[in-house]
Structure 1
Amino acid sequence: MTDYMVTGLVKRRAALAGDMKRAQEALSQMARDLETLDAAIKLVAPDLEIEAIAPKFTKPPEDWSRRGEMSRQVLSILRTSTKPLTAREIASRMIVDRGLAATPKLVNLMTRRVSTCLRDRREQGLVRNPDARAGVWMEWEVVR
């Protein structure tokens, strides 16, 4: 093996071990917080069965996509377009298609997500950037 490969693997292992340690510490803190809440509930409502309180799972926001949905929608928009589009134009169309309120914050968030999706699809050879003009936003089109 080469030295740079070993060095990279060692760095990745150290980072992953650090992430695991932080996650374990966060989990320990959550357990302590839960115990504190349980004690407070027992003080206020001693008859309440704490074990009967079901955990609440949060639902992701509506602007999230299920696996593969973002790519399908981005590629569909590009296929039906007659000209190359910017990531912001694609994001705006997605927001309209989903019936979401087009706030500046949501448009920026979706633009970042669409840009990431487009870069991944470019690496797969599905989309490309046509000849870029200086000073213009990066445009995208489907490889035909």
Structure 2
Amino acid sequence: MGEPHVVSALREKRAEISGVIVELERRIALHRAGLVHLDATLRLFIPDLEPESIPPKKPPAARSHYFATGELARRCLDALRVAEGRVVAAEEIAVAALRDKGLDPEDRKTRSDFIQRVLNTLTTLKGKGTVEKVGHGLGARWRLPAEPADHAAWARCQ
């Protein structure tokens, strides 16, 4: 058999994981019941509607306690303005933010989280025409467009 402390730790971990699964299944059951009621209500107003045809919506990402609302978008735009037309990697912006926040840029988990948040923000700004993406994959870089597509959106970001 195994060492008693190893077996005890494995049993404890299994109990923890199975407890999480039980709680998630309970929450799923509640959401499924709510969905059934919503579908029935929709059918009252639109009898020929197939509720399954409504695509599911991805839940919003968890907010970061490191950044205030809109702070990361401002940081990205400021970094691109300072670059004066030079292309900038998302990692550069993330590392600068880590340093500004007094965090260790060598902490892989936090660095990865910051990079992903910067990429998500830049992608959102790209969709608004506020920034341009140059390249693909790990080599992708970002810059401000020579002429913003939507002057009103550009002005809001200033």
Partner residue of 1:142? 144
Q: Please tell me whether residue 95 in structure 1 is matched to residue 140 in structure 2.
A: no
Change (3 A) 1:78 1:6: same
Structure 2 CA distance, aligned partners of 1:125 and 1:85? 17
Match of 1:68 among 62, 67, 70: 70
Identity across matched positions, percent: 23
Gap change, CA 1:61 and 1:125, over 3 Å in 2? closer
Cα–Cα, structure 1 residues 6 and 135, in superposed 2: closer, same or farther, change >3 Å? Answer: closer
- Aligned-residue CA RMSD in angstroms? 3.4
- Normalised by the length of structure 2, the TM-score is 0.50
One-letter code of the match for 1:139?
R
Instruction: Please give the per-residue CA displacement for 1:119-138, whole angstroms capped at 9, x wherever unaligned.
Output: 000000100013x3x88610
Residue 129 of structure 1 is aligned with which of 122, 127, 133?
A: 133
**TM-score, L = length of structure 1:** 0.54
Tell me the residue number matched to 1:113.
117
Q: Give the deviation of 1:61 after TM superposition.
A: 7.0
Structure 1: where are the runs of 5+ without partners? 20-59
TM superposition shift of 1:74: 1.0
Sort the Cα spacing of 1:99 and 1:72 in 2 relative to 1 into closer, same or farther, 3 A.
Answer: same
Offset from partner CA, 1:95-143 (integer Å, 9 cap, x none): 112222221211111000000000000000100013x3x8861000012
Which amino acid in structure 2 is aligned with residue 111 of structure 1?
A: I
Any idea what SS the aligned residue of 1:65 has?
coil
Give the total of aligned pairs: 95
- Structure 2: which 5+ residue stretches go unaligned? 1-45, 147-158
